Structure 1
Amino acid sequence: MLLRRHPIPILVAVLAVGIAVPAAIPWVFAALVPLYVLAERDLRHGVAAAAAILLVQLVKMDHPVEPISTVVFSAAVIAVARYRVLQRAAAARERELLFEAAAAEERLRIARELHDAVGHDVSLMVVQAEALAAVTGDERADAIAALGRRTMGEMHRTLKVLRDDADLAPQPGLNDLGGVIEDARGAGVPITFTVEGAPRPLPGGLDASAYRIVQEAVTNVIRHAGGAAAAVTVHYGDDALELRVTDEGGEPSDTNGGGHGLVGMRERVAAFNGTLQVGPRAGHGYEVRAELPYTA
C-alpha cells in the first residue's frame, strides 16, 4: 500500500495543500492518516509529524480553537496508533508463549516415550548380563548387570515426575497405524496406506515418534481437509525412515489435541536429527514429509 510505504511524502503533500488552499478546506483530517502510520512506526516520528501539522495550522489559523482541536485530534491518533502497536506486540508474545508451552509439553511426552524405550533395552541388557554371569561366573558381567540396575534406578528417579497413568500403557509404533487409518476412514476420509521398502526393526523411541508424526498428520487431514482423499506412505530407506502424508484438501493448524500438531511433529523430528517439510502440494492439497535417520 502506497500510504504504508511512503507516509512522509504523503504528509508533506497534504501539508502543502493545506498551505495552498483556502483555510476552509479540512486538510487536517487528511493529514491525520499519514500521522497514524508514522506514529505506528515510531513515537518520535509521530510527535514530529503532529508538530508539523500544528505548525501549518498556526500559519493558516482562522479561529483560535483550530490549533487546540488539532492538538487533541493528533494526540488521539498517536494514542490509538501506539495502543495498536502494544496490542500486536502482546498478541505476538502470547502466540510465542503458547508455542513454547506446546513445544515443552511435547518434549516431555517424547521424554516419557524415550524413557520407556530405553528402559526396555537396558532391562534386556541387565537380564543378559546376569545370565552370562550365572553361566560363566565372570565378575565383569556382574558389574555390567549392577551398572544397568543403577542406570534403571536413576532413570526412574529422574523421570518419575513425568509419569502418569496413561504412560503405563505400551507405546504404539508403526505396526499400530492400522487403527489410525481406520479412524480416518470412520471420519469420512478416503485414505490409503502404503509401506515401501523392506520393514526393519526400529529403536523404540524412533518407532513411537514415527507413529505420533503420522497420527498428527492424519488428524490434521481429518480436521482440515474437508473429507478430501489422502494417502499415508511409510518408506523404509537404506539410511532413514521416510513418512509421507498427503491430502487433496486444506492446510493444517499449528496446534491440535494430543501432540500439538505441527509443533509436535517438529519436536519429534528434531529429537532424531531428522528433517520435516510441510506445505502445499503442486496443484492443490497439502503434504507432510518427515525423514528420520535410523542412526540418529
Structure 2
Amino acid sequence: MRVEDGRMIDTRGGAGRGVLSAPAADAGLGICVAVTLLAATVAGVGPAVPDARPLDAGAVVLVVAIAAAIAVRRRHPVVALAVLDVVPVVWFLAPYPGRLVALAPLIGCYTLAALRGWRWGAAGAAGTALIQILAIRVVLGDVETVGVVPDAVLLTATASSAGAAVGYHRAVLAATRARHARETQAREERARRLAAEERLRIARELHDVVGHTLATASVQAGVGLHVVDRRPGQAREALAAIKTICDDGLTDVRTILGILRDDGPAEEPPAEPRAPRGGLDRLTDLVDPAEAAGLQVELEVDGEPRPLPAPVDLAAYRIVQEALTNVIRHAGARTVRLALTYEPSRLLIRIRDDGLRSAAGTPCGHGIDGMRERARALSGRLTAAPHPDGGFEVCAELPVPGTR
C-alpha cells in the first residue's frame, strides 16, 4: 500500500492475506446489512414513517442493491458510494418504512477514504452529507431538518475520517514492511557479496602459495635429478630445500583453509594464526628459494623501511611472490631485480627480469590478474608488461593509509 496524490494504492498484488478474503468478506457484509435492514424494517425499529407503504419487490430490489454495492466497495469504491447514496433517497421517496437505510452510505464513505485517501474521502463525505440532507428534508420536512442535519453531517464526517485514518495506518504498515524487506534483501546481498569476495580472496591466496611452492620445488627437484649421480651432496641439499619449501607451503595452506573451518572446541586456541602468513619481513623466504633455484636476485630498498598496515604488507608480499614464481616458471631468466621504494604515502614495488622469453612468453594464467586485483583492492595499481630493454617488468603502487 502506498499513497499517491492523496490516494491509497494497494501494491500487494493480491498476495496478501487480506486480499484473497476481501471479496468474500464484503459479500458477507453486504448480505448481513441487507438482512439487518429488512429485519429492522419488519420489526419497526426506528422512527415511524407516516403513510408508509408495505415492503414489496421494490424494497427487496433496493436492499439487494445495497448488498451488491457493499460487495464491490473495494474494487469500485466511487460507484459503491454513489449507489449507497441514491438508494436511501429512493427508499424515502417510495416511501418504505424504516430509516436505518440512511446509515448504509456511511460504509461507502469509510471505504472511499480508506482506499483513496482523505481528499477523495472529503469529497465523498460532502456529497453524501448533501444527499442525506435532501433525503431528510423529503422525509421529515423543513420543521425537523434543523435538528437532524448536524447529526447526518457529523456521521458522514466521522465515517470518512475513520476510513482515512485506517488507510494511512495500513499505508504506514505496508511502507514499514517494504522497508524491512529492502533492508533484509540488502543484508542478504551484502552477505553474498562478502562471501564471494572471501572465496575469491582465499582462492587467490591458495593460487599464490601453491603456485610458488610447486614452482620452486619443481626447480629444486630438477637440480637434484641433474646432480644426483655426480654430486650426491648437492642433491641432498636440493631435497632438503624441497622439504622446507613444501613444509612452509603446507603451513600456509593450513592457515588459509583454517579460516573456512570453525569446528574446533571453543576452549582450545587455534594451532595456527587465523590469518595468512606473509609480509615484507619474510622477504628472505621468497628470495632464498629463488636463489637456490639458480636465479640471482638483486634486492634494492630505497627509503626507510617501516611497519606497514597488514593488508598492504600481505599484498606486497604476495605480489613479490607471484612475480618471482612467474620468473622461475616462464622467464628462463638468470637475474631478477627487486626494488622496494618506501615513500611517505605509498609503497612502490618493481620486479624486472632479464629473461629472453618474457616478451613472447607472457604468462597466460591468473597470476597477473590476481596481482592486479590485490593492488586494486587497496586503491592501488599494477602494470605487467615486457620491458623495452628486454625482459619482463612488474610495477606495483600500493597506497599506505594513515600516513602523510
Q: Relative contact order, CA 8 A, sep 6+: which one is greater? A: 1
**Largest Rg, 1 or 2:** 2
- The bucket for the TM-score relative to the shorter chain is 0.3 to 0.5
TM-score, normalised on structure 1? Answer: 0.43
